[in-house]
Structure 1
Amino acid sequence: MTAKVALVTGATQGLGLALAEGLAQRLTPEDTVYLTGRDLGRVTQAVAALPGGGARVRGEILDVAHPEAAGRLAAQLADRHGGVDIVFGNAVMRVGPGDDPRTIVDAYAEVNNFGTTRLLRAFAPLLRDNGRLLVVASSLGTLHQLAPVLHDRFAGLSSLDEVDRQVAAWRDAVRDGSARAGAWPGFVNIPSKIGQVAAVRALAHQRRERDLARGILLAAVCPGMMNTPTSALWWDVAGAPTPAQAAAALLKLASGPADPAQYGQLVRDGRTLPWSPG
């Protein structure tokens, strides 16, 4: 049996670290989990802090904001292993209530959105049979969260290039201030998460038939509200699950049998969330 290969982006803390640890515990010593992040010191520290047992955990530098980084790492893993079995796209730039959207939106979209489409382009071709490619998004990532006049920006997109163009148009409108005068929500997380889910849907539109025949699951996943320092800036999260608790449902999706009804969808706690009203 071929040893399994898993990769988690944004894995030096919080949910990403919990996903890397959970995968390592569920896989065997012959398998490898790649714990990735953009800072070598934090990657090294995170790998060293994980408990022993299970799969080997290997640290790698991956800054998804760099245009060539995902493709370069994908090529390296293809050379080492011939393919990958599980990929969690979890890299995220966080935003606080005091941040001016106009000044942070370039970096924000570069990580959260263009970083997602780069990851999808780089690693989807490497998926082995029964593989999983899961993008961590949010229940905010549906058209329900947008004014109806904006729905056609993201509905029905059939390529990652189309998604990138729509995200770039939104980013530019935030940067120049015109988004404030339009129908865009002021919370940049909403259009960004919608862009992530739209990217998954667009790629799924292209790959659905052959992926389903091979047992592959491509989906966006919502971990729900978590008790983290960043979430606490916005909401009362005192009773919310920890990242480790929230990771459980995502790990189940990564290791359990693929449900064709979840392919290309946004999934939370095993349930598919509707993409659009009605």
Structure 2
Amino acid sequence: MTSRIALVTGATQGLGTALAAGLAQRLGAADTVYLTGRDAARVGAAAASLPAHPAEVRGEVLDVSDPESVAGLAAELERRHGGVDIVFSNAVMRVGPDDDPRAIIDDYAQVNDFGTTRVLRAFAPLTRDGGRLIVVASSLGTLTFLAPVLHRHFDGLPSLDAVDAATADWCDQVRDGRARAGAWPGFVNIPSKIAQVAAVRALAHERRESDAGRGILLAAACPGMMNTPTSALWWDVSDAPTPARAAVPLLSLALDPIKPDHYGELVRDGVVLPWRP
């Protein structure tokens, strides 16, 4: 059997580390998990912190906001292994209550949104038969949380290029103040997560028939509220699951038999969340 290759972006803390740990524990000794992040020291520390595991864990520097970094690692993994089997696009720049959206929107979108589409473009062509390509998003990533007048902005987009264009337009509106004056939600996490799910839906539109024939799952996944320092800035998360607990249903998406209705959708705890209200 061909060794399985897994990649987790944004894996130096929280959910990303938990996903890497869970994969390393559930995959076999012939398999490799790439734990990635943009700071080499933090990547090394996170890899060293994992409990005992049968799979090999390799730390790699990957900055999803840098197109050359993403393309470079994709080319390197293709050279080393010929492809990948599991990809978790999990890298995220977090935003706090005191952050001014106009000041942070460019860096924020480069990681959360354009970083997502970069990873999809780079690694979808490398995904082998039976593989999984999963974008970590949120239950906020549906049109339910967007004013109806804005639904056309992200609904029915035919390609990743179209998603990038819609995201760039939203960023422009945040930066120059039009978003604040209009119908856009003030919490930038909402349009950002919607853009991530729109990216999955757009790519699924292009790949559905081919992926079905090859047994590939492409989906967005919501881990739910977690007890993390960043979440605690916004909400009371004292009773929320740890990242390790929240990772369990996402690992099931990556490792358990595929459910066809999950393809191209946003999934939480095994249930598809409706895209439209």
Measured against the shorter chain, the TM-score band is: over 0.9
Q: 2:149 aligns to what?
A: 149
* Aligned equivalent of 1:110: 110
1:40 corresponding residue in structure 2: 40
Distance 2:270 2:206 in 1: 23
Q: Does 1:82 align with 2:76?
A: no
Partner amino acid, structure 1, of 2:72:
R
Looking at structure 2, the residues matched to 188 and 67 of structure 1 have their Cα atoms a distance apart, in angstroms, of 23
- Could you give the per-residue CA deviations for residues 189-230 of structure 1, whole angstroms, max 9, x where no partner exists? 000000000000000000000101111000000000000000
* 1:9 counterpart letter in structure 2: T
The separation in 2 between residues aligned to 1:222 and 1:142, in whole angstroms, is 11
Bigger Cα displacement from structure 2, 57-66 vs 67-76: 67-76
Query: What TM-score does the superposition give when structure 1 sets the normalisation length?
Result: 0.99
- Tell me which residue corresponds to 1:258: 258
Unmatched 5+ residue regions in structure 1? none
Shift of 1:52: 2.4
User: Partners in 1 of 2:164 and 2:173 — Cα distance?
Assistant: 14
Calculate the TM-score normalised by the size of structure 2: 0.99
- Provide the residue aligned with 2:158 in structure 1: 158
| Cα shift readout 1:55-82 (whole Å, capped 9, x = no counterpart) | 0000000000002211110110000000
Q: Which residue of 2 aligns with 1:216?
A: 216
Give the match for residue 249 of structure 1: 249
Q: 1:196 and 1:84 mapped to 2: Cα distance?
A: 21
| TM-aligned CA deviation for residue 48 of structure 1 | 1.1
Deviations 1:103-162 (A, max 9, x none): 000000000000000000000000111100000000000000000000000010010000
**Residue in 1 aligned with 2:31?**
31
Q: Secondary structure at the match of 2:60?
A: strand
Amino acid corresponding to residue 230 of structure 1 in structure 2: T
Distance 2:138 2:47 in 1: 27
SS in 1 for 2:187: coil
| Greater than 6 Å deviation, 4+ residue runs | none
Q: For residue 10 of structure 1, what is the aligned residue in structure 2?
A: 10
Instruction: Tell me how far apart the structure 1 counterparts of residues 40 and 69 of structure 2 sit (CA, whole Å).
Output: 14
Partner SS for 1:68: helix
Correspondence for 1:231: 231
Number of aligned residue pairs: give it.
277
Matching residue's letter, 2:139: S
C-alpha RMSD over aligned residues: 0.5
User: 2:156 & 2:137 partners in 1: Cα distance?
Assistant: 19
Displacement, 1:53?
2.6
CA shift, 1:51, in A, is: 1.9
Structure 1 residues 150-176: Cα deviation after superposition (integer angstroms, max 9, x where no partner): 000001001000000000000010001
Give the residue type in structure 1 aligned to 2:194: I
Q: Distance in 1 between matches of 2:156 and 2:45?
A: 42
Aligned equivalents of 2:191 and 2:239: distance in 1?
A: 27
Letter in 2 for 1:129: D
Quick one: percent identity of the two aligned structures?
73
Q: Name the SS for the 1:60 alignment partner.
A: strand
SS at match of 1:166: helix
Partner of 1:274: 274
CA distance in 2, matches of 1:87, 1:208: 17
Match of 2:128 in 1: 128
Paired with 1:69 and 1:151, the residues of 2 have a C-alpha distance of 33
